[in-house]
């Protein structure tokens, strides 16, 4: 019964999602606007609360059972609580109910974001350059004709898009642009058509209840 309700909901809302793109009548458009602006927004708010609850539950459970690296879960929970309090009561830029500054040092969400999140996330991603350099040295080998072609194309595009490319040859930037505009687009477009057709087929299968893996369980 539970699964049947979910299937009916997916069918109804799946069809309701398609119709506004095909019928421009005001009644259809207004209903679509109502579904999106009111119903969908409320659902999203529930999903957000559910996700936060689930996150806390998973980490509380990890601490209780002393699973591997359980100490890090404390970091997450503490960071969650502190940033929630500052965000909820301190406002986004020190404009909230709580005074979020110690002397001249502001302690609002934007300060936390600029001084913790940005440096941490940027550093993590910056490390990629080093791994990429090492990995390309070890793995980027002209082992076959396809790999050689890839290597040559990569070199053309890499050099062609460097600021010094036009100093090497005036035709190099244009050639690199051609590689992206013609062979790349040809391949990408084929992939895009494939993905689009696949997405249509999969969506139809889900809407019509043929594909039920998303429901979980065996049947």
Partner 1 sequence: MVRGWRLKFIDRLTKIDRRIIYGILALVVILPLVFPTALKVKPMTPVEKLYEAVDNIPDEKALLLDCSYAPQIKAEVEPMAIAVLRHAFAKRKRVLVLALYVQMLGLAQKALTQVTGEFNSKAQTNADSIIYGRDYVFLGWTPPPLIPMLGMGESIAGVYPADYYGNQTDTLELMQQIKNYNNIGILVCLSGSAIPKSWVAYAQNRFGVAVGVGCTAVSGADFYPYYQTGQFSGLMVGMKGAAEYEELVEENLEIKEKRMASEAMLPMTYAHFVIMLFIIIGNIGYFIQRRRK
Nearer of residues 32 and 211 to partner 1, judged by Cβ: 32
Residues 6+ apart with CB under 8 A from 140: 151, 154
Cα–Cα distance for residue pair 106/76, rounded to 1 Å = 22
Cα–Cα distance for residue pair 19/14, rounded to 1 Å = 9
DSSP-derived 3-state class of residue 102: strand
| CB-based contact 96:83 (threshold 8 Å) | no
- Residues 78-97 touching partner 1, rule: CB under 8 A, are 91-93, 95
Single residue of 60, 79, 113, 169 touching partner 1 by CB under 8 A: 113
Do the strands 105-106 and 101-102 form a parallel or antiparallel pair, or are they unpaired?
antiparallel
Single residue of 15, 120, 168, 210 touching partner 1 by CB under 8 A: 120
Copy the structure tokens of residue 93.
């830029």
DSSP-derived 3-state class of residue 154: helix
Cα–Cα distance for residue pair 95/115, rounded to 1 Å = 18
Q: Is 18 in the site for partner 1 (CB under 8 A)?
A: no
Q: Is 136 in the site for partner 1 (CB under 8 A)?
A: yes
Using CB under 8 A as the criterion, what x/- string covers residues 163-202 for binding partner 1?
Answer: xx-x------x---x--xx--xx--xx--x----------
Q: Is 121 in the site for partner 1 (CB under 8 A)?
A: yes
| CB-based contact 11:205 (threshold 8 Å) | no
Cα–Cα distance for residue pair 40/18, rounded to 1 Å = 15
Using CB under 8 A as the criterion, what x/- string covers residues 38-77 for binding partner 1?
Answer: --xx--xx--x-----------------------------
Cα–Cα distance for residue pair 178/156, rounded to 1 Å = 10
Nearer of residues 70 and 175 to partner 1, judged by Cβ: 175
Please work out the total of residues on this chain that contact partner 1, with binding judged by CB under 8 A.
57
Interface residues with partner 1 (CB under 8 A)? Answer: 21, 29, 32-33, 36-37, 40-41, 44-45, 48, 91-93, 95, 109-110, 113-114, 117-118, 120-122, 124-126, 129-130, 132-134, 136-138, 140-143, 151, 155, 158-159, 161-164, 166, 173, 177, 180-181, 184-185, 188-189, 192
């Amino acid at each position: 019964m539970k699964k049947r309700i979910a299937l009916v909901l997916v069918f109804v809302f799946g069809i309701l999602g398609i119709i506004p793109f095909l019928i421009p009548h005001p009644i259809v458009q207004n209903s679509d606007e109502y579904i999106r602006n009111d119903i969908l927004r409320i659902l999203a708010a529930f999903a957000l609360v559910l996700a936060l609850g689930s996150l806390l539950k998973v980490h509380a459970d990890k601490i209780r059972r002393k699973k591997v690296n359980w100490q890090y879960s404390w970091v997450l929970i503490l960071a969650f609580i502190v940033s929630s309090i500052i965000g909820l009561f301190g406002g986004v830029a020190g404009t909230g109910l709580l005074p979020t500054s110690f002397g001249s040092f502001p302690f609002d969400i934007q300060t936390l974001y600029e001084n913790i999140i940005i440096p941490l996330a940027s550093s993590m991603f910056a490390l990629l350059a080093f791994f990429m350099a090492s990995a390309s040295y070890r793995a980027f080998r002209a082992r076959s004709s396809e790999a050689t072609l890839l290597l040559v194309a990569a070199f053309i595009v890499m050099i062609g898009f460097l600021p010094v490319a036009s100093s090497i040859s005036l035709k190099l930037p244009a050639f690199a642009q051609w590689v992206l505009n013609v062979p790349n687009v040809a391949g990408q477009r084929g992939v895009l058509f494939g993905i689009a057709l696949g997405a249509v087929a999969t969506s139809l299968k889900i809407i019509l209840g043929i594909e039920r893996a998303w429901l979980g369980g065996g049947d």
